[in-house]
Structure 1
Amino acid sequence: MMTDEKRIVLVTGGTKGIGLATAKRLAKNPANFVVINSHRELDDAAQTELEKQFNNPIKIVTGDVAKEDDAKRMIDDLVEEFGHIDVLVNNAGMTQDKLMTRMTETSFKDVLNTNLVGTFNMSKFALKTMQKKRSGVIINMSSIAGTHGNVGQANYSASKAGIVGLTKTTAQEGSLRGVRCNAIAPGMIKTAMTDKLSDKIIKQWEGQIPLHRFGDVENIAQTVEFLVENDYITGQVITVDGGLTM
C-alpha cells in the first residue's frame, strides 16, 4: 500500500452517518488515503463490513477524542506511519437532549467534552504537525443549533457554538503557516437520529424548511470535499440547511 504521495485524511466518528458518508466520498479521490476513527474498537466482522463499503483501502484507528492522550496517540501514530497528516475532519459528536431545567451538570459536560473538547484535542495535535510542513486543512462539524440554539439542546448548542469560535481562532493561528480551518453547520439531515422522529414532527420541520425536505448526509460530505479542495476559504462557517436559518 503506497501512501507516500497521497493526502492523508482523518475523519473522526467515521463509522456511520455524516462521518461515514464523508469518508466514503473523500476515499473516491485517488489522491486521498482515508483513515477512519472509531470511538470503540471494532470486532473483525464489523471492521470487514466497514471496509467493504470502500473501493480503495482505508485504515481504522480507535480512540476517544475527548481524551487528550488518545487524541495525541492517534495523530502521532499516523505521522509516524505516513510522515504527515493533511486533512482532519472533526466529526465525532454526541447528544444528550433534555430541557435545561432538567439537564444535569454531568450531561452538559459529557456533550461538551466529546463535541468541543474532542474537536480541540484533535485540532491541537493535527495543527502542530500541519504547521511544520506549512499546509493542511481542518474541518469542524458545527450545527445550526450552535448558531441559532435549539430547545432541549443547551449542551449540544453550547458545544457547537464553541466550535464556531474554535474554528475561527484555529483559522487565524493556522494561517500563519498555511493551514486552513473551516466549519460546517448542518441543519435537518437524514441520519439515525432524525429517523427516530415521528412523521408529525418531520412534517412540521419540512414545513419550516424553504426547500421543504431534510438534507442527506451526502450534502454534508459534498461540502467537506469542497472545503478540502478550495484553498482560498478559511475561518468560515458554511450552513447547509435548505434555507432553514436564512
Structure 2
Amino acid sequence: MQMEVYNIFKVNFKREWIQMKRYLPNTISELIIFYIVFLGFFLGISLIGDPENLDYNIQMIIMNYIFWYLVLSLTQGIGLEISDEAGRGTLEQLTITPYKLWFIFITRMTSVIIISMISISILLFLAMLTTRQNLNLDLLSIIPILLITLIGVLGVGYLISSITIIIKESGYLIQIFQFVIMGMTFIPLTTAPFLKFAPFMYGLQLIREITINNFSILSLNINDIVFLLLNSLIYFITGIYVFNRAEKFAKQKGLLGHY
C-alpha cells in the first residue's frame, strides 16, 4: 500500500514538474505580476503608513502577501485541476480508478505545495531585498505550523472544488474567492478575534509571531498548537466529506463526463 501511495505521488509530482517547465514563461510572468502588486502595497504603506510602525507594517505586508499567494495556489488548485480534467474528457476516467478522487487530487496538491515553494522562496527573497527587512526565518518552527495550517487550507480547496465537480466551469467563483482570501489575510486577529475560527487564519497569526516577533515553536503555548490542529482537521474532514457527496451527486446525474 505504501509503495502504491508513493507511486501515485511520484507520477503526479512528475506531471506537475513537467507542466511547470513546459509553461515556464507563464510561471515567470505570474511571479512578476505578484511582485509588482506587492510593490504597490509596499509603496502605499511607505507613503501613507505610520512612520513609527513602518518596519512592523512592512513585515506584516510581506508575511500576509506571501501567505496569500500560497493559500491561493492551493484553494484554487483542486478546482482548476477538475476543470482541466473535465475539459480534456478525463475526469470520469479518474473516478473509475481504484483510488478515491479526493486522494488523487491531494497527491497533486502536495506536489503543487513542494513546487510552489520555489516561487514562494523567490518572492519572499525579492520582498525582503526590496524592503530591506529581515524576517526570522526559523524553518524548524515555521514548517510544522505551516504544514498543520495547510491541512485546513486543503479542506477549503475541497469545499470550493465540490462546486466545480458539479458545474465544471467555476472560474468566476474562484476569482471572487481570491479577494475574500486576500481580505482575510490582511486583517490582524487583534482587530477581529473571531477570525481565529476561520480556516488558516490562526496558523498565519502564529507564523507572524515567529517571523516578526522572533518567537519559536517552543515559546508558543501548547493550547495554540492544539487549537490550530483541531481547526485544520475540522476544515479538512468537512471539505473531504462535502467533496465526496458532490462527487456522488455528479455520478448519479451523469455530470462527470460533461463539460
Taking structure 2 as the reference length, the TM-score comes to 0.32
Which one has more relative contact order, counting CA pairs under 8 Å at least 6 apart?
2
**Which one has a larger percent helix, Structure 1 or Structure 2?**
2
Taking structure 1 as the reference length, the TM-score comes to 0.33
Instruction: Find the structure with the greater CA-based Rg.
Output: 2
